[in-house]
Structures are given as C-alpha cells and as structure tokens.
C-alpha cells in the first residue's frame, strides 16, 4: 500500500530568491510547495530601506507564475546606518516581517553588514519595542577563528550579549549547524527561535570533503563534524516549537559553484520537502513533520497557519533533476547522494 501523508501547506522561513532572470527561474520551485517564505535581503545592492523592500516585493510578485499561491514575507538588511524610523514604518505598514543581521563579511553579499554592534543598538531597541524579529546569520568573521567554530563563538561573543543588552528582542537564529546552537536555543530564556536547513539535516563535512570536494554541498555556515547532525535532527524532529524549517535555498549559477573559488549556497528549493520528509521518516517522526514545516514558524511570527494542504507520497526513489535552467544560467539542484522516497503528490 502506498504510504501517504497530508499536512498543512508548509512555509519556508529562510529563502534566497535573488533578482532578475535568476528570480524568474527559481521562484516557481518555491511557490509550488510553499505558501509563504521569508525573503533574504542580500541582493546587490542590498534591500536596506522600506522602499527597497516594497520594490523587491513587487518584482517577486510580478515574477510569480500565473495562479501561484505564494506570499513573500520581506526583510530589511541591517546596516550600521539603518534608520530606526524607517524600520518601524515598514513594519507598521505590514511591509516587512523581520530584519536580517549579517556580520560584515560572513557570507555572500554581506559586505554592508554590521562590524560594530554598538552602532545598531538603537535599531535593535526599537525592534524590541515594536516586536519585530531579528533574523541572525550567526557566525563571527574574525580571521583568527576557525571556520568550523564561527557559530559557537558567535553565540558567546555576539548573540548572547545582544540578547542580554536588548530585553524583549525577538531573535531567530538562522540555519543552525551545531549542537551548541541547538542547545542554546533550547535552553535560552526569552523569545528565540531557530531555522534548520535540509543540507544540515542530511549531511556533514565528510559528505562535502571526503573522496573529493563537492562544491554543491558548500554553504555557510559550513557543514560541520558528523556529531552535530544528529543534534540538529533531534531538534527538528523533537516537537520543540522553537525550531522550524528555513531551507536557506541559495541559488548560484553552476559555473560559479564549480569554480576555483566557488560561491556558498545549496539550491534545495525543488526537492526540499521530499528530503525533509525522508529525514523525518528515518527519525520515526513523520507525525512531527507538520509542526516543523507548517506550524512552529507561523506561531513564532504570529501569523495564521495555512489552510491549504499538501500530500506527500512514499514510493520508489525519486529522480533528482540535475539542474534548473534560468536566464542567468543553469543552477544545479541539491542532491543528497542517497535515495529519497517521498514526493509531493498534490
Ligand atoms: O550558503 C549561503 N549562501 N549562506 C548564506 O548565508 C548566504 C547564501 C547566499 O546568499 O548565497
Ligand atoms: Zn541564507
């Protein structure tokens, strides 16, 4: 008998859609399976002011396929010059759902991010007052900190001090990759959530580096030692509402990934739900999939849950398409390198 599972339509609480031709090529893959997504603002130039977010939202809506049911939830890119009034106005009008903090230099297009955290304290205090969440790329960028330790150091040196200095600030620790982060989020007092990606639930650094470099597994924060993955799977499948799905699907043209200095990011959107369901099935936690994918995120963001449903079906291993064509070049689709049996049936 075919195994089937129907859940409320999921949302993606961390997504890169890019702009222009890339946006047109990748957007249908998220809009097919997800009702809403938190849209990352790290364009070139970044989405800094309310007006930038409004214009970007209009471009996303214009690029949606006919009949698609997808709502982009916009974010602003926090800089040291961000104006608290502009942020508050964009929030009050319903235009933005969160503000994104990139430590300067941490990842793709983060050069305009924050170097001196004291300079953004005024904005953070305003956000705490109005209840606007801060989405955090949680990595320090000092050259003397090993890339595999950057998340754990960030928690101690940046995140915890910011949260202590700004009572009431609602924080989402994005794409957590370590047991340390899962523990911090589980144990912290106050209003905190965390997103987890598909690749960090399925892979560790050996998958990326042993027996040859696999550039399509390279993302930031980087895949960690294998001991961290089970802690992330436990956090995702354990039913704690602080954890929810954020794919961090981050498309780059294939030639920029398969490159002497390849870009960070895994393009998971087309197969995200198949892979996620496989992970929950393996963990014996299919009954908790809906919480992680469709319920915990809206609860954190104070949004209604989706009324529509999707049905997943288990069968023969699915065929992964290698790549998605876009006007900005083909983009290689994430393939975990092992069979995935679940597909989105309707
Ligand atoms: O791997 C990543 N890619 N991590 C990020 O934080 C940014 C993203 C991108 O924009 O490509
Ligand atoms: Zn991201």
Closest of 101, 178, 104 to residue 142, by C-alpha: 104
Label each residue of 102-146 as H, E or C.
Answer: CECCCCCCCCCCECCHHHHHHHHHHHHHHCCCEEECCCCCCCCCC
Asked if residue 277 lies in contact with residue 312, where contact means CB atoms within 8 angstroms, the answer is yes
What counts of helices (H) and strands (E) characterise the chain?
14, 13
Catalytic residue among 11, 12, 33, 248: 248
Check residue 111 and give its pLDDT.
Answer: 78
User: Residue 10: pLDDT above 90?
Assistant: yes
User: Residue 112: pLDDT above 90?
Assistant: no
When mean pLDDT is compared across 104-108, 113-117, 283-287, 292-296, the lowest value belongs to 104-108
Q: Judge if pTM exceeds 0.95.
A: yes
Closest of 159, 260, 244 to residue 150, by C-alpha: 159
Check residue 220 and give its pLDDT.
Answer: 97
Tokens of 162: 């910011």
Which atom of ligand 1 approaches the CA of 137 most closely?
6
Which residues sit opposite 6 in a β-bridge? 311
Ligand 1 site, residue 16, Cβ cutoff 6 A: yes
Ordered structural domains, the chain, with CATH: 4-344 (3.20.20.140)
Token look-up 């089970």 returns 230
pLDDT-based confidence at residue 276 (cuts at 50, 70, 90): very high
Q: pLDDT tens, 306-340?
A: 999 999 999 999 998 899 999 999 999 999 999 99
> What is the rounded average pLDDT for all residues in the chain?
97
CB burial string 260-291: b at 16+ within 10 A, e below? eebbbbbbbbbbbbbbbbbbbbebebbebbbb
Ligand nearest to the CA of 220: 1
Tokens of 3: 């195994």
Mutate-to-test residue for ligand 1 from 18, 102, 108, 172, highest number of ligand atoms within 8 A of CB: 108
User: Residue 107: pLDDT above 90?
Assistant: no
Between CA 7 and CA 273 the distance in angstroms is 11
* Ligand 2 center–CA 246 separation, angstroms: 9
Ligand 1 site, residue 108, Cβ cutoff 6 A: yes
Angular region, 326: left φ>0, alpha ψ -120 to 50, beta rest: beta
Mutate-to-test residue for ligand 1 from 15, 19, 100, 219, highest number of ligand atoms within 8 A of CB: 219
Token look-up 């396929």 returns 65
Between CA 244 and CA 298 the distance in angstroms is 9
Q: Please tell me the residue having the least CA distance from ligand 1 atom 10.
A: 108
Which residues sit opposite 103 in a β-bridge? 114
Mutate-to-test residue for ligand 1 from 140, 263, 268, 332, highest number of ligand atoms within 8 A of CB: 263
pLDDT-based confidence at residue 3 (cuts at 50, 70, 90): very high
Pairing of β 96-101 and β 71-77: parallel
| The 243-245 sheet, strands edge to edge | 12-15, 36-39, 71-77, 96-101, 134-136, 171-173, 192-196, 243-245
| pLDDT > 70 in the chain, percent | 100
When mean pLDDT is compared across 8-22, 64-78, 103-117, 322-336, the lowest value belongs to 103-117
User: Residue 263: pLDDT above 80?
Assistant: yes
Ligand nearest to the CA of 267: 1
Check residue 1 and give its pLDDT.
Answer: 62
Between CA 137 and CA 135 the distance in angstroms is 7
Check residue 346 and give its pLDDT.
Answer: 86
Non-local CB neighbours of 306 within 8 Å, separated by 6+ positions: 8, 9, 10, 11, 35, 36, 294, 298
Average pLDDT for residues 156-173, to the nearest whole number?
Answer: 97
Task: State the angle between helix axes of 84-92 and 121-130 in degrees (0 to 180), rounded to the nearest 10.
Answer: 20
Active site residue 144: no
Check residue 81 and give its pLDDT.
Answer: 95
* Ligand 2 center–CA 315 separation, angstroms: 31
């Amino acid at each position: 008998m075919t195994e089937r599972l129907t859940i409320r339509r999921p949302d993606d609480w961390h997504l890169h859609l890019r702009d222009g031709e890339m946006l047109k090529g990748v957007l249908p893959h998220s809009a097919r399976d997800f009702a809403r997504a938190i849209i990352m603002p790290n364009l070139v130039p970044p989405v800094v002011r309310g007006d930038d977010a409004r214009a970007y939202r209009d471009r996303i809506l214009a690029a949606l396929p006919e009949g698609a049911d997808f709502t982009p939830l916009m974010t602003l890119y926090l800089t040291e010059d961000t104006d608290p009034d502009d942020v508050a106005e964009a929030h009050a009008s319903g235009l933005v759902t969160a503000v994104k903090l990139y430590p300067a230099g941490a990842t793709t297009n983060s050069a305009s991010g924050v170097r001196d955290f004291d300079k953004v304290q005024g904005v953070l205090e305003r956000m705490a007052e109005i209840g606007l969440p801060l989405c955090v790329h949680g990595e320090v960028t000092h050259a003397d900190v090993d890339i595999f330790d950057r998340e754990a150091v960030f928690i101690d040196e940046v995140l915890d001090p910011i949260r202590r200095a700004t009572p009431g600030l609602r924080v989402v620790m994005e794409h957590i990759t370590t047991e340390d982060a899962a523990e911090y989020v589980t144990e912290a007092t106050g209003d905190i959530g965390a997103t987890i990606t598909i690749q960090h639930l399925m892979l560790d650094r050996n998958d990326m580096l042993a027996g040859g470099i696999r550039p399509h597994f390279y993302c930031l924060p980087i895949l960690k030692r294998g001991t961290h993955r089970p802690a992330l799977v436990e956090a995702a499948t354990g039913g704690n509402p602080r954890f929810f799905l954020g794919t961090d699907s981050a498309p780059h043209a294939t030639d920029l990934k398969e490159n002497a200095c390849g870009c960070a990011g895994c393009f998971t959107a087309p197969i995200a739900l198949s892979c996620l369901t496989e992970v929950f099935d393996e963990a014996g936690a299919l009954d908790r999939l809906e919480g992680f994918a469709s319920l915990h995120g809206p609860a954190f963001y104070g949004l209604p849950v989706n009324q529509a449903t999707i049905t997943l079906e288990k069968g023969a291993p699915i065929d992964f398409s290698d790549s998605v064509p876009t006007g900005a070049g083909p983009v290689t689709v994430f393939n975990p390198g092992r069979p995935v049996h679940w597909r989105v049936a309707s």
